[in-house]
Structure 1
Amino acid sequence: MNYFHLLLFCSLSTYSIAQGIRVEGKCVGKNNVPLENVMVKTKETIVQSTFTDSLGSYFFLINNVDTLDLVYSIGEFKETRRILLKLEKTVQIETIYFPILQQVGVSIIKTKQNPFEIEKMPTIDAQKITGSVERTLALTTAATSNNELTTNYNVRGGNYDENLVYVNGFQVFRPFLTRSGQQEGMSFIHSALVEDVRFSAGGFDAQYGDRLSSVLDITYKTPEKFKSSGLLSLLGVESHVEQEVNHRFNYLVGARYRSNGYFLNSLPTKGAYNPVFMDGQFLCNYNINENLIFSVLGHYSSNNFRFT
């Protein structure tokens, strides 16, 4: 009989210990407004943190311990309490006060699916380009140039070689020149063939390369019918022809000739100046299907420097 009583006493004690103690309380702000989502942390529970509900109330269960350390936090505010527990099944914690008038909810007005997406480069209207594309950049964008006789430009003080230039996806490398300015040849970009101009002075897509200053992305025209143009001046002549042969094949052809002798001989520096520059370009596109186009871009250039 004594053995049975001892076994019953141990079972009840074990059940009482396993049942634990319920701790509950409330958090309020100014004017006793209940505060929601206040974090309540303690090391004496299996789940070491809980949050207050819409009424500012919270509760959790702990094992039988003598001392309970609580940490309350919301935003930048934090409160701590040390509670000496008594042998009770429920412990009521005094109301915790925070100097907050009310909680401000956050409304999500617009979401962005890809926050790391780089926006497209700004476009320059090709119809407003007069003369060379590079000169237009120096007048309308962050690019600068200190010489009217050159097509070179710089961005944030860098060298011209730090700028990327693409034509229909082909990267264009600057050819070797004697020097910039009056002894410089023509730009690679043929203005009569240009349809779209995009320029970025920084923050461009990695597909363009790893140079630091800028990227100039030129798109040549896609012919829809036969067109031609010509330009005659005292310094040279330009012309171009474009045509769509059929729904699969089209081409662009451009040619330029320039002689700066008439202009250079008017400069104060005496000498015989008669440099002659000419080039030709062609772009052929063959549409294999809706998603695949075979393109060939060709360029011929002749720079004859005649200085004595």
Structure 2
Amino acid sequence: MALFDLPLDELRGYRSRSVEPEDFDAFWSATLDEARTHELDARFERRTDSGLSTVEVHDVTFAGFGGHPVKGWFVIPAGITEPVPLVVEYIGYGGGRGLPHSHLLWASAGLAHFVMDTRGQGSGWAPGDTADPEGSGPSLPGFMTRGIEDPATYYYRRVITDAVRAVEAARSHPLADASRTASFGASQGGGLALAVGGLVPDLAAVVPDVPFLCDFPRATRLTDRMPYREIGDYLKTHRGRAERVDRTLAYFDGVHFAARGRAPALFSAALEDQTCPPSTVFAAFNAYAHPVKEIEVYDFNDHEGGGPFQQAVQLDRLPRLLRG
């Protein structure tokens, strides 16, 4: 696969044309205020059947958007008695929280690790356990177009709200150090990590790998690959609604969340990535507000990005950020 997007020197200066809604902050403030009218009700159930001896696993349920129950895993090093830094992870598109032994990296590094299940997803490549009780109007198969003609009904309003509440739930555990919390994820999870970074003011780090949900005006018109293509296919059928759809997507664009980032950030991008084109990742990186930010670039990789090489970078840098 050849390079298909802008050359690297242009990527480093690229800026999105996504127009931020005037009521962006008011929209999200009202959304989160409504969610917090429901008790968080975070419940941590110790699991003794995981077969794991070096970590302790908890099956978690908390109230997300609309008070709906959202599942998660909380994994910590076995035997700890004092709070440790916390990594809150979000999952890639189509996947669910899977099984506990799939989430050993951060607990093995001595950190607390909370993995949020994604409502309605979890049948693509890893199983999930969280329903999405909200319906929507006509939509294309997938999640990108559910309720897409109104920000109030759009699917990602619910998911991003869940993601913020996941931080609150994870921080409620007595062995999680709330003052040293990172949002983390790849692809869709990276987009959610960015959103949380813009909505939660006191994170210690934000770590988005090849993030999805960024620079919608460019992404939806540049790549033919799913999931962005779901939006193009919707508009192919629902002719004349592009302006309305673009208006909705602006409330969920990682570029605008990045402009509110208040913690050090570690991004990654892959220059042959046709799922999350590198210009869309750089759009978020270049807009990111905190002055301490880095981006690892993988020249000849597609959406897999840096894979274990990027994990090695994260293992080196993230604990230092979290431990101050």
State whether TM-score is above 0.5: no
Instruction: Give TM-score scaled by structure 1 length.
Output: 0.23
More strand by share: 1
Whose relative contact order is higher, 1 or 2, with alpha carbons under 8 Å and at least 6 apart?
A: 2
Instruction: Give TM-score scaled by structure 2 length.
Output: 0.22
Larger radius of gyration: 1
More helix by share: 2
